[in-house]
Amino acid sequence: MLCPVFLRELRDPVTRLRGAGKAVAALLARMGIYTIADLFLHFPRDWDDRSSWIGFAEAARAGTRAHARATVVAHEWFGYGRMKTLKLRVDDGRDEASLLCFNRAFLERNMPVGCSVVVTGKFGLRYGELQSSAFEIEGLDGEGEGTVKSGLLAVYPLTEGLAQGNVRKLVAHALADYNRHIEDELPPRLREKHALMAKREAIRAMHAPRDAAEALRARECLAYEELFFFQLAVAQRAHSRAEVAVPRRVPKGILRSRLASRLPFKLTNDQEKAVAEIVTDLGTARPMARLLQGDVGSGKTLVAFFAALEVIEAGGQVALMAPTELLARQHAETAAGLLEPLGVRLAFLSGNVEDAARPPLLGAMAKGEVDLVLGTQALFSDAVEYRHLRLVIVDEQHRFGVLQRLALSRKGPMPDLLMMTATPIPRTLALTVFGDLAVSTIREMPPGRKPIVTHLAKAGNEAKVYEFVRRVLALGQRAYFVYPLIGESTKLELKNAEEMHAKLRDELFPGVPIGLIHSRLREDEKRATMAAFKKGDIRILVATSVVEVGVDVPEASIMVIEHAERFGLAALHQLRGRVGRGQAQSWCFLVFSDKLTEEGKARLKAMLETSDGFKLAEEDLKIRGPGDLSGTMQSGALGFAVADPIKDLLLLEEARIDAFALVEEDPALLSEASHPLREVLRRAPPFGEAAAVS
Ligand code: ADP
Ligand code: MG
C-alpha cells in the first residue's frame, strides 16, 4: 500500500537499468515489478549480517545456522537415474562439508569448482561428514569482496530463476541513477516532529543500510509514512461522516417483528444486542459505519437481514455483497425463504447474470422496484444504479480488496454501512485501524450446538477416518472432503480434489452420491452441486477451499481436510466452521502428512486445543511471530507494505493523532483538488468504502 507519488522518471520501466534485459524483466514482472518505483518498493525481507561468520562445524555443534564463506572444492553425485543428486563439496577454511542439492542440479553450472560462495543453513554430522540439505548458497564472484565484508546485505523475496545477486545489482543501479528523484510526501512539519529521514534516504537505507540501526530507522520511517496516510483516510472519512446529515424516517419495526415471529428459533442475546445497536445507529442523524464481528456460525446473516428490514421499512434500498458467487447465492436463497414472504422484493446480481436478464434487472433497481439486492462485487460496477441505496452490507469483509470497496462510494449519497467478518481483530487494533467504525461482537453461539470434535490423523491412517465417515453417513449425515489442489500438479505430490472425487466415488464409498466443487467449474454447475448437497441428494461433497467462506448446510456433520498442513490457521478454522451448524454431533478430521514443519505442527495443535476463533487468531499471530502479519487472520483488510500494525502499534497511534489533527485543522484539505496529499490518497485508498476521497 505504500504508494509514493514519485516523479515521472520513477515510472520508467526497469529495462532502463543496466543488466535488466527481457528475461530479467519477465522474472521481475512475476513479482509485480515493472517500474523503477516498483523495484524501490521491493523491500528486503531481511538483512544478512555478513560481519559475523559461523563455520560448518561450529554450527553443527551448537545446533545453530552456519553462515560461512566457502570455496566449492568438488562436484559429486549420488543415487541413480531420476534420483541422481548433486553433492557440492565446500570448504569454509576449517572444515569441508557436503551440500545435498535435491532438485537443484542447476547448481552444478552456477557453482563451478573453485568459486567463492556464502553458505547459510543448518548442518549436521551424518555418515561421518558434515552435511546440509536445507541451505542457501550464493556466489560471491562479481559482487566484490567490499560489499560482502561490510556488514549488512539485503535479502530479497525472489522468484525462481532470479538470484539475490541479480536483484542487488539492479537495485544498486536504480539507486545510483534514480534515487535523487524520490520526493517527500509527508508534510515537512511531521518529518521534523518525528525526526524522520528524508524518504530518499530511507529508501536507500532499506536497500543498502550502513548498519543495522540505520536499516531499522529507515523501516520505521516508511512504516510511519504508510500508517499516516492510512490514518489520514480514516480521519477524513470520520470527518465527512460527521458532516453528513442523513434524513431519516424511523420505522416502527413491523417487518423486524414479523421476521422474528417466523423464525423457528429465538435470536441469541448477542444477536439481539447487535440488532439493537444497529437499529439505534439507523435512528441517528449520522450515517452508520459498523463492523459486526462474530465467529464462524454465530449467525451474522440474520442480524444483517434484521438491519436490512429496518431500512426497507423506511423506504430505502439495501445491497448485500458477498465475496463469492456461491455465498451470494446462498444468501439470496436464505433471503427468499425468510424475507420474500414479508413482501420484500429481492434480486440477485453477479457477473454471471445472463445478458438478456440484465437490463430489466438493472432497470428495476434503478427505479427502486427492488428492495434488497444480493450479489457479488458486480453490485457496484459502473452500470449499476440505485434509486435510493441506503444500506450497504458487506459480508466477509476481510475477503475484499481495497478497490471493490472503494467503488461503493460512488453510488449516491453516503449510505449506512455494515461490514461483517468472522476474522476477529484484537481490540486495540480494531479501534485504531477501523477507528471510525463502531463494533458489535457476537460471542455466543446459537443454543444446542454441540462442540465439534476434532481429530488429527497421520497420512497412511486415513482408512480409519474413512471407516468412521462411513458409519456416520449411515446415520443419514453428510460430509465434506477438502483438498489443497483441484487437479494433478506437476510440482506437488498431493492428493487433489478431482482424483479423490473419483476414488471416493468408485472405491471408498461406492453407492454414496458424491459431488465435486471447485473454483474452475462453471457457476451453474457449482450452484447445482451445492443445491444437491443442501437437499441431501449428494451426501459427500469433495471440495477445495471454495467452501471456506460462508457455506451453510446444517445437516453436514463431518469435515475431512486432507493435507491439513497445507492450510493456514484461518482457513482451517473457517473450514471446520462448515460443520457443527445443526443439532447433530459433528467431527473434523485433519489428515496431515509426516513432512510437517514446526509451524504446521503448531497450527494443528492449536486447532486441536481450541475452537474459539478469537483465541485462534491470537495463536496465529504467535505462531507467525509479530513480524509476519501478511496473510494472517487479521491482516486481510490491511495490506501494508512495510508497516505492521501490531508491532508498530505505537507508531500507528502517533500517526493517528497527527492525521486527525491535520484534518481537524484543515478539513478542506482533501477536497482541494490540487492538494498533494489528496493525490497520494487517491492512489492508495485504504478500505475507503464510504466516500473516503470521492
Ligand atoms: P455466520 O455468522 O458464520 O455467517 P450464519 O449466519 O451462516 O453464520 O448462521 C449459521 C447457522 O446458524 C444458520 O444455519 C442459521 O440459520 C443458524 N442460526 C442463526 N441464528 C440462530 C439462532 N439464534 N438459533 C439457532 N440457529 C441460528
Ligand atoms: Mg456468514
Check residues 315 and 692 and name the one with the higher pLDDT: 315
Report the predicted TM-score, pTM, of the whole model to 2 decimal places: 0.67
CA of 345 to the centre of ligand 1 (A): 23
Check residues 118 and 254 and name the one with the higher pLDDT: 254
Atom of ligand 1 nearest to the CA of 581: 11
Q: Residue 432's closest CA among 641, 643, 645, 219?
A: 645
Tell me, what's the pLDDT at 541?
Answer: 97
Atom of ligand 1 nearest to the CA of 395: 4
Identify the residue whose C-alpha is closest to ligand 1 atom 23.
Answer: 267
Rounded to 5°, the CA angle 362-290-640 comes to 90
Task: For a ligand 1 pocket test, name from 267, 302, 557 the mutation site with the most ligand atoms within 8 angstroms of its C-beta.
Answer: 302
pLDDT digits 0-9 by tens, 522-550: 888 988 999 999 999 999 999 998 887 76
Question: What ligand has the least distance to the C-alpha of 293?
Answer: 1
Identify the residue whose C-alpha is closest to ligand 1 atom 17.
Answer: 299
Check residues 468 and 145 and name the one with the higher pLDDT: 468
Question: What ligand has the least distance to the C-alpha of 297?
Answer: 1
Identify the residue whose C-alpha is closest to ligand 1 atom 9.
Answer: 299
Confidence class for position 630, pLDDT limits 50, 70, 90: very low
Whether 254-283+299-421 and 453-610 share one fold: the answer is: yes
CA of 410 to the centre of ligand 1 (A): 32
CA of 306 to the centre of ligand 2 (A): 14
Question: What ligand has the least distance to the C-alpha of 295?
Answer: 1
Identify the residue whose C-alpha is closest to ligand 1 atom 27.
Answer: 446
CA of 2 to the centre of ligand 2 (A): 31
Residue 94 is which amino acid?
A: R
Confidence class for position 151, pLDDT limits 50, 70, 90: low
What distance in Å separates the CA atoms of residue 49 and residue 153, rounded to the nearest whole number?
A: 7
CA of 268 to the centre of ligand 1 (A): 10
Q: Give strand pairing partners of 417.
A: 289, 392
CA of 319 to the centre of ligand 2 (A): 15
CA of 123 to the centre of ligand 1 (A): 52
Mean per-residue pLDDT, 184-194: 89
CA of 299 to the centre of ligand 1 (A): 3
Greatest mean pLDDT among 162-166, 202-206, 646-650:
202-206
* Residue 481 falls in which region: left (phi positive, over 0), alpha (psi -120 to 50) or beta: beta
Q: Look at residue 146 and tell me whether its pLDDT is greater than 60.
A: no
Identify the residue whose C-alpha is closest to ligand 1 atom 22.
Answer: 446
**CATH top-level class of 453-610:** alpha beta
Q: Which residues are near ligand 1 (CB < 6 Å)?
A: 265, 267-268, 271, 294, 296-302, 422, 446, 552, 554, 581
Atom of ligand 1 nearest to the CA of 300: 2
pLDDT digits 0-9 by tens, 663-685: 888 776 655 555 555 555 554 33
Identify the residue whose C-alpha is closest to ligand 1 atom 4.
Answer: 300
Contacting residues for 299 by C-beta, under 8 A, at least 6 apart: 267, 268, 271, 442, 445, 446
Atom of ligand 1 nearest to the CA of 582: 14
First to last CA, the chain: 19
Tell me, what's the pLDDT at 678?
Answer: 55
pLDDT digits 0-9 by tens, 563-599: 999 888 888 988 999 999 888 899 999 999 877 888 8
Name the least confident of 112-126, 264-278, 396-410.
396-410
| DSSP H or E stretch at residue 29 | helix 22-30
C-alpha cell at 429: 487494533
Task: For a ligand 1 pocket test, name from 327, 552, 575, 583 the mutation site with the most ligand atoms within 8 angstroms of its C-beta.
Answer: 552
C-alpha cell at 223: 512504516
Helices (H), 397-461: 402-407, 427-433
Task: For a ligand 1 pocket test, name from 305, 321, 581 the mutation site with the most ligand atoms within 8 angstroms of its C-beta.
Answer: 581
Mean per-residue pLDDT, 248-274: 95
Confidence class for position 637, pLDDT limits 50, 70, 90: very low
Question: What ligand has the least distance to the C-alpha of 443?
Answer: 1
* CATH assignment of 254-283+299-421, among 3.10.580.10, 3.40.50.300, 3.40.50.1980, 3.40.50.10470: 3.40.50.300
Mean per-residue pLDDT, 129-133: 93
pLDDT digits 0-9 by tens, 382-436: 888 999 999 999 887 665 543 334 445 555 677 888 988 876 666 556 666 666 6
C-alpha cell at 598: 514446526
- % helix, strand, coil for the chain, step of 5: 45, 20, 40
Does domain 52-149 correspond to CATH entry 2.40.50.140?
yes
Identify the residue whose C-alpha is closest to ligand 1 atom 24.
Answer: 446
Tell me, what's the pLDDT at 598?
Answer: 82
DSSP letter string, 313-360: HTT-EEEEE-SSHHHHHHHHHHHHHHTGGGT--EEEE-TTS-GGGHHH
Check residues 229 and 433 and name the one with the higher pLDDT: 229
The residue ranges of every structural domain in the chain are: 1-48+156-183, 52-149, 254-283+299-421, 453-610
pLDDT digits 0-9 by tens, 642-668: 887 767 878 888 998 999 899 888 776
Identify the residue whose C-alpha is closest to ligand 1 atom 18.
Answer: 299
Confidence class for position 341, pLDDT limits 50, 70, 90: very high
pLDDT digits 0-9 by tens, 472-518: 999 999 999 999 999 887 777 889 999 999 999 999 999 999 999 99
Atom of ligand 1 nearest to the CA of 302: 6
What distance in Å separates the CA atoms of residue 223 and residue 234, rounded to the nearest whole number?
A: 16
Atom of ligand 1 nearest to the CA of 301: 6
What distance in Å separates the CA atoms of residue 635 and residue 433, rounded to the nearest whole number?
A: 11
Identify the residue whose C-alpha is closest to ligand 1 atom 25.
Answer: 446
CA of 528 to the centre of ligand 1 (A): 23
Contacting residues for 577 by C-beta, under 8 A, at least 6 apart: 295, 296, 297, 422, 613
CA of 450 to the centre of ligand 1 (A): 14
CA of 518 to the centre of ligand 2 (A): 19
